[in-house]
Amino acid sequence: MELSITTTPSTRRWLNRYLLPVAALLLALTLPPRAQAREYLQLFVVQPYLELHTAPGRGYPVTQVVVRGESVDVLMRRTDWFKVRTERGIEGWANERDLAQTTLADGSPFQINLGDRDGFTSHRWESGIFGGAYEGATLISAYQALSLTDHLKVELSASQFLGNLSNGWLVDLGLSHVFMPEWRISPFVTLGGGYERVEPKATLALPVSSSNQTAYVGVGVRYYLARRLFLRGELRAHEIFTNQNANEVKNEWKVGIAFFY
Amino acid sequence: MESRHSVLLLSLVTLALSGCALFHRHAKPDDSAQASSDSDSNAPPPTVIEPQVERRTIKVPTIHPSNVEIGAYYGELSIQDFGAQPVYGVRLDYHISEDFFAEAIYGRAKAGFTSFETLSNIQIISDAERRFTYYNLSLGYNLLPGEVFIGRNLAMTSSFYVIGGIGSVKFAGDQNFAVNFGAGFRVLPTDWLAVHIDVQDLVFRSAVTGEEQLKNNLQATIGATVFF
C-alpha cells in the first residue's frame, strides 16, 4: 500500500508496463517444468558396457557402467548427451556415440542424428547469425530454415541495416536449393520475397519512412566446419516495389555462422 | 503405299484389341465373384476362430530435448560518459553442442548525465533519448566446463564461457551497429535451472559527445535461466 501512495503516476505506469510482466515471466520461469507421467524410451546395451558420466560433458567422471543385456530409460537429451536411468534406478549421462550402439526393445539399432558430416547433408532445421552490408549500410541478420528435402529448404530471415543516412528492417521468406548437400563446400541458390522498412535519419531534409514489398534472388555457399557448425555466405539482389515510376534494386551480402539440428 | 496401309490396319487392330480388353476388364471380376460365391455357399463354414483383439499400435516414446535456455538478468551498465546505471534484459540461449551455444539478448537501461551536463546544467540529449536499448546475437564457447562444490554433499555443474557477437544499440536518438564480447560463468543447481554471471563490453561508434568515437560500455549482470 505504501508503494502506491509514494509512487508518481509515471512510475506506476512504468511498473505496470514493464515490471509486472517481467515479474510474471520470472515467476513462470522459476516454477519447475510441468511434471507429467511420461513413458521413456528404453534402450538395451549390446556392447560389453555403457559408461555413465556424472554430468553432460566429456571431462566429467564415469562413476557407473551398465553391462551388456541391461537396459536404460532415456530421460532427456542435452546437446550430445543423454540423461538415462538404469534398471537399478541410478541416473547418469551417456554420450550420443555410445548410445548409438544400443538397441531398441525389438533388437533394431537405436538411430540418432550425430551432428557430423551426414547430419550436415541431411537435417531438419538450421539457424544462423550474419553480418554484412545492405546497399552500403551495416547489416545484422539471423535466419531459420526448415529442410523439405536435403536439397530444398524454406528460409525465413530477419535483418536490420544501420547506415549513415537511414536505418531499417528486412524480413524475407523464400526457398533455397542446395546443389550438393553432401559436399563440404556446397553452393546454393535462393529465391523469395519479403518486406522492407526504411527509416531515414532525422538529419535528412525530408525524413519519410517507407515500407515496401520486395522480391529477391541470391546465390551462396555453405562450408562445413565441425560438429553442427558451418559457415554460410551469400549475395542477394532485392527488387524493391516502390510506388514511384521505377523499382529499385538493392544489393546485400552477408557472411556468418550457422548450425543445424 | 502398301506398307502405310498395313501400318494403319495394324494400329486399328491393336486399338480394337485393347478396347476389347477394356470391356473384359470390367466383366471378368463379376463373373469370377459369382462363381466363387456359388462355391462358398456349398462349402462348410470356416472353423478357424478369428481373434477379436485389436492390433495395438506401438508408439516409441520420444526423447525430450532440453537445449533451450530462457531467462532474465539484472546488473549494472557503464554507459561511456553517461555514468553507470542499472540494466535489465531477457536472454535466449540455444546449446548447439557440448562446446558451443548461440545467444540472443535484449536489454535496456537509462543513461545518467555527463559531467558536462552536471556542471553546466545544460542537457545535451532529451530524457527520452537517454533510454539505452540494445540487442545482441552471439556465439559462445564453453571454455572451462567444471563443477562447483558447496559443502560436502552438493556438486553443481558449471562452465566458464567466452562469448562474442553483433547487434545494435539505440541511444541518444540514434541506432548504431554494435559489437559485444565478454565472458561469463554458468552454474546449474538442477538440470533445468541455471544461474549466470556475465561481464560484457558493448562497443559502438557514436558522436553524441561531439566527435565520433568508439564507445565502450561495460556491463556486469547476474541472471537466471530455465532450460526447456
Determine contact: B152 vs chain A, CB below 8 A.
no
Element (H, E) at A4: helix A2-6
Q: What is the distance between the alpha carbons of residues A215 and A131, in angstroms, rounded to a whole number?
A: 21
pLDDT band at B23 (very low <50, low <70, confident <90, very high): very low
Q: Environment class of residue B25 by beta-carbon count within 10 Å: exposed (0-12), middle (13-18) or buried (19+)?
A: exposed
pLDDT band at B36 (very low <50, low <70, confident <90, very high): very low
B98 vs A contacts (CB less than 8 Å): 56-58, 79-81
- In order, the DSSP letters of A28-67 are HHHSPPPP-----EEEE--SSEEEEESSSSTTSPEEEEEE
Determine contact: B88 vs chain A, CB below 8 A.
yes
Per-residue pLDDT at B173: 86
Per-residue pLDDT at B48: 75
Distance of CA B46 to the CA centre of its chain: 59
User: Considering only CA atoms, which of A201, A261, A174, A186 is closest in space to residue A231?
Assistant: A186
Per-residue pLDDT at B3: 54
Mean per-residue pLDDT, B189-201: 96
Please state which of the ranges A239-243, B6-10, B174-178 shows the lowest mean pLDDT. Answer: B6-10
Quick check: B147 and A55 CB within 8 A?
Answer: yes
Per-residue pLDDT at A161: 95
> Could you give phi then psi for residue B42, rounded to 5 degrees?
-85, -25
Q: Which of A55, A74, A142 sits opposite B63 (nearest CB)?
A: A74
pLDDT band at B62 (very low <50, low <70, confident <90, very high): confident
> Could you give phi then psi for residue A38, rounded to 5 degrees?
-135, 155
B69 vs A contacts (CB less than 8 Å): none
Q: What is the distance between the alpha carbons of residues A230 and A260, in angstroms, rounded to a whole number?
A: 8
Residues β-bridged to residue B157: B147, B188
Higher pLDDT, B49 or B135: B135
**pLDDT at B73 exceeding the cut of 80:** yes
Contact B77, B109 (CB under 8 A): yes
Q: Which of B64, B72, B97 sits opposite A26 (nearest CB)?
A: B72
Element (H, E) at A196: strand A185-200
Sheet holding A41-44, edge to edge: A41-44, A71-78, A81-86, A91-95, A49-53, A62-67
Per-residue pLDDT at A112: 86
Residue A224 to residues A81, A175, B140, B166, Cα–Cα distance (Å): 22, 20, 18, 22
Contact B101, A257 (CB under 8 A): no
Per-residue pLDDT at B41: 58
Mean pLDDT estimate for chain B? 85
Quick check: B168 and A162 CB within 8 A?
Answer: yes
Contact A65, A45 (CB under 8 A): no
Q: What is the distance between the alpha carbons of residues A223 and A128, in angstroms, rounded to a whole number?
A: 13
Contact B202, B134 (CB under 8 A): yes
**pLDDT at B171 exceeding the cut of 80:** yes
Q: What is the distance between the alpha carbons of residues A92 and A10, in angstroms, rounded to a whole number?
A: 52
Per-residue pLDDT at A165: 86
Per-residue pLDDT at A2: 41
Per-residue pLDDT at B13: 57
Q: What is the distance between the alpha carbons of residues B44 and B46, in angstroms, rounded to a whole number?
A: 6
Mean per-residue pLDDT, B102-116: 94
A134, A162, A165: best to mutate for the B interface, most B CBs within 10 A: A162
pTM of the full predicted structure? 0.79
In angstroms, what is the C-alpha Rg of chain A? Answer: 26
Residues β-bridged to residue A145: A126, A155
User: Considering only CA atoms, which of A212, A211, A210, A216 is closest in space to residue A238?
Assistant: A216
Per-residue pLDDT at B106: 97
Contact A187, A220 (CB under 8 A): yes
Which residues of chain A register pLDDT less than 50? 1-7, 35
Q: Which of B62, B102, B176 sits opposite A129 (nearest CB)?
A: B102
CA distance A192 to chain B (A): 24
> B130-164: per-residue pLDDT in tens?
999 999 999 999 999 999 999 999 999 999 999 99
Q: Note the ipTM here.
A: 0.82
Report A:147-186 residues touching B (Cβ under 8 A). 160, 162, 167
Q: Which of B70, B72, B167 sits opposite A140 (nearest CB)?
A: B167
A198-210 CB burial, b ≥16 within 10 A, e <16: bebeeeeeeeeee
Quick check: A40 and B62 CB within 8 A?
Answer: no
Higher pLDDT, B12 or A129: A129
**pLDDT at B181 exceeding the cut of 70:** yes
Contact B106, B98 (CB under 8 A): no
Alpha-helical regions (H) of chain B: 2-42, 115-120
Nearest CA in chain A to B175: A162
Nearest CA in chain A to B94: A79
User: Considering only CA atoms, which of B113, B93, B120 is closest in space to residue B104?
Assistant: B93
